[in-house]
Amino acid sequence: MMKFHILTLFPKMVQQGLATSILGRAAEKNLISIDAVNIRDYTQDKHGKVDDYTYGGGAGMLMQAQPVYDAYRSVAGEKKIRCVYLTPQGAPFTQKKARELSGEEELVLLCGHYEGIDERVLEEVVTDYISIGDYVLTGGELAAMVVVDAVARLVPGVLNNDESAETESFHNDLLEYPQYSRPEEWHGKKVPEVLLSGNHKKINAWRLEQSERRTEERRPDLYAKYQEKQKVIKKLSAKKRIFIHMMETLSRGLGEILYAEGKNVLIYLPE
């Protein structure tokens, strides 16, 4: 079971947002657990206050260090659990990051409000600063739910079809190919003949071609990365017997090229 602890001022918002559909069923099956921790429960202020004015002046209030720290310690105890702070100042959230986080047994997600959180407690507990986009929200709860959804669906057993996470967008730096369902014709548009052929080799080739075309059109940055990987695979294929495992790892989107120039290639191969 993977455990998510969300530190928030609005626990009901998080609980209601994550208790339905696939994640709700995964929680019922004890594949994941979602614990919404109310930061306000840990303030030492008798009025339940968790914010105060910022030193140096400026607009808005700042969440104080003490209640955030005590809320984190209520979850982690003396352990150092990986803690993600959702902030516009963080690194962009990607599928690669989601896969990395899915390898954790426990994960803390910290939701800020007002003008943010006292820097001192961030230095104490935060391990990852993550942004879901270049815009500002009223709080970190929506961003935390996005991260939980993206990470939880990669936990074994959460998706009904284990192959789903291996064929969707961003896997191996490609966007997902177009998909079709019944009826065979709708509004004068027909399902591509190859998908009705039953020839899985041709279907797979068509899907790869469509993924490449769509990625080149919509995400040229990803397509450039994909092309670079294909060049490296081609280089390795010259000595296939030696590099077969590296080629397979790259082709499946499990490895990453760290450096490639001329005949020199440095590849990261996960354990």
What is the pLDDT, as a whole number, of residue 167?
Answer: 59
pTM for the whole thing? 0.83
Quick one: 254 exposed, middle or buried, by C-beta within 10 A (0-12, 13-18, 19+)? middle
Segments making up each domain of the chain, as ranges: 2-152, 185-268
What is the pLDDT, as a whole number, of residue 251?
Answer: 75
Write the pLDDT tens digit of every residue in 215-258. Answer: 999 999 999 999 998 988 887 787 666 577 666 777 777 677 75
Please tell me what DSSP assigns to residue 132: S
Average pLDDT for the chain: 90
What is the pLDDT, as a whole number, of residue 225?
Answer: 92
**Across 73-78, average pLDDT:** 96
Hey, what CATH topology would domain 2-152 get? Alpha/beta knot (3.40.1280)
Q: Which of 35, 40, 167 is nearest to 108 (CA)?
A: 35
Write the pLDDT tens digit of every residue in 3-43. Answer: 999 999 999 999 999 999 999 999 999 999 999 999 999 99
Torsion, Cα of 128, 81, 86, 175 (10° steps): 70
Does residue 152 surpass a pLDDT of 90? Answer: yes
The residue length of the chain stands at 271
